[in-house]
Structure 1
């Protein structure tokens, strides 16, 4: 990738910027009020948002599904251009103009309330304007006040909604080459469909067939979308993804950017509580969402028990785990009374899982002789409960020479 980064577009004058902010506030206030009225205040929005932008030819369509898998998001992406199918929006687009921000925002908020997006959503093509950037800030602050179950304002301590800004970037040269290549491939595909009568023709876009139009499209991206997304770098989690290499290389870049990070996924309270537990190299991502929900629930509903379990892990179990670091396998017998209950055991297993360990626990009841009954000479026993804890984790890579 070239070291050249597009120059930011000239910023609006202070007066124009102030007007844009006021416009965004007015639009958002009206749309938000209408939305609450239509849904009786119940607004179950997603818990994780990935706002995806990219240069023409950067591979958004190719890589969106891969990003979703990396974040364990099962719902399809929301593509802003696909939402704009109203007669008014189609007429505006056919005239070569942009659809108004209010219409875009209204359609987007309604779509985001679909239950399929509850655990996470990728929004492709938003924000693109200064008004949409201001909307995003206002939307985030409103989400902070919503009950996590979709009700009214909440006074409970809950996990904050996660906003991620993702930008797939390529230089102008690569962008133009890919746009023209796509145009040639679509034209060839359509020729074969016409000649054979087999298959479905694809849309031929003028911007994929003309060199100057390709350059103009990239310039629009550089002067609007790029600068718009960059302005959010200091506010939300920002992922600048180099998309110039081949597909495997780009997807490795995506994996590095979206790797699970405790400090982002968990609330500050929970992260501060468990951050001293060492992180193993792998985490079972398929269970990530359920695991995060359970940990947050423990801290909210049983904070004292949760803290006791974490202290027990750190003081009693981790020294033994460290001693077996070379093998990656520790077996521990414990009679800890704290574990005498399914909730504490579940907490212990989940905390270890969050740190990348695999733990199993077997409970054994043993009869321990205490005394002899002098009248019957029977041995009187008490029952002792022993927890056999098996902890597995990646072993040390260090090997002794032969």
Structure 2
């Protein structure tokens, strides 16, 4: 199996590159955002629990997210591995992911691929995306900058943990989509 943690601030091209990795290596993407939407929409026990925090304006506790993740990796799949997107974001979540992958999949996280893009380029990309996406969080520069800042603050400790394990790889996320994809592919090929 190939198990990849995919990092990148909003606007880094993470969604596009995740699709490229999925197609090239037959991976299954697990996005915590998608997990939340699925569980809440389908009124699962975990979705109802998560929504009870969201409705109060509170952060959903790590354990609820972890439980959703466990349920997802337990589902049968013919994929050759997983891309974890949006998780982990903290040291606690990083440790939890290691345990989940070890205990549920009898495997390990192979690499953390981090797309690096300068803040000004991120702001330009997101504002441009906001013109067509209809997403309010992509149309306000102040909100965009706050999201980028929050991303770095949250993920810095996770990057450090993967660096210590020798599993953290930075990829320049600026350039042609195909060129960036090739750089990501080369890193995944190293672990196959």
Which residue in the other structure is 2:139 paired with?
A: 209
Deviation per residue, 1:352-391 (Å, 9 max, x gap): xxxxxxxxxxxxxxxxxxxxxxxxxxxxxxxxxxxxxxxx
User: How far did 1:67 drift?
Assistant: 1.3
Q: 1:165, 1:236 within 8 Å by CA — same for their partners in 2? A: no
Deviation per residue, 1:133-172 (Å, 9 max, x gap): 221343455469x5xxxxxxxxxxxxx5453212122121
Which residue in the other structure is 2:60 paired with?
A: 99
Q: 1:81, 1:125 within 8 Å by CA — same for their partners in 2? A: yes
Question: Gapped runs of 5+ residues in structure 1?
Answer: 1-46, 147-159, 188-203, 266-402
Paired residue secondary structure (1:123): strand
Q: Within 5 Å, which residues of 2 pair with 1:79-98?
A: 79-84=31-36, 85=40, 86-93=47-54, 97-98=58-59
Residue 12 (structure 2) pairs with residue 58 (structure 1): yes
Q: 1:163, 1:236 within 8 Å by CA — same for their partners in 2? A: no
User: How far did 1:122 drift?
Assistant: 1.2
Paired residue secondary structure (1:56): coil
User: How far did 1:83 drift?
Assistant: 0.8
Query: Residue 91 and residue 207 in structure 1: after superposition, are their counterparts in 2 closer, same or farther (change >3 A)?
Result: farther
Which residue in the other structure is 1:67 paired with?
A: 21
Q: 1:241, 1:257 within 8 Å by CA — same for their partners in 2? A: no
Question: Gapped runs of 5+ residues in structure 2?
Answer: 41-46
User: How far did 1:74 drift?
Assistant: 4.8
Paired residue secondary structure (1:116): coil
Paired residue secondary structure (1:58): coil
Which residue in the other structure is 1:250 paired with?
A: 180
Residue 113 (structure 2) pairs with residue 166 (structure 1): yes
Which residue in the other structure is 1:391 paired with?
A: none
Higher Cα Rg, which structure: 1
User: How far did 1:249 drift?
Assistant: 2.8
TM-score (norm 2): 0.82
Q: 1:143, 1:161 within 8 Å by CA — same for their partners in 2? A: no
Q: 1:165, 1:237 within 8 Å by CA — same for their partners in 2? A: yes
Q: 1:166, 1:239 within 8 Å by CA — same for their partners in 2? A: yes
Instruction: Tell me the matched-pair count.
Output: 183
Which residue in the other structure is 1:317 paired with?
A: none
User: How far did 1:225 drift?
Assistant: 1.7
Deviation per residue, 1:13-43 (Å, 9 max, x gap): xxxxxxxxxxxxxxxxxxxxxxxxxxxxxxx
User: How far did 1:220 drift?
Assistant: 0.4
Q: 2:116, 2:171 within 8 Å by CA — same for their partners in 1? A: yes
Q: Which has the higher contact order (CA 8 A, sep 6+)?
A: 2
User: How far did 1:64 drift?
Assistant: 0.8
Residue 158 (structure 2) pairs with residue 228 (structure 1): yes
From 129, 132, 138, give the equivalent of 1:182: 129
Q: Within 5 Å, which residues of 2 pair with 1:221-370?
A: 221-235=151-165, 237-258=167-188, 260-261=189-190, 264-265=191-192
Q: 1:50, 1:122 within 8 Å by CA — same for their partners in 2? A: yes
Distance 1:220 1:162 in 2: 24
User: How far did 1:211 drift?
Assistant: 0.9
Distance 1:94 1:51 in 2: 29
Distance 2:176 2:32 in 1: 26
Deviation per residue, 1:318-372 (Å, 9 max, x gap): xxxxxxxxxxxxxxxxxxxxxxxxxxxxxxxxxxxxxxxxxxxxxxxxxxxxxxx
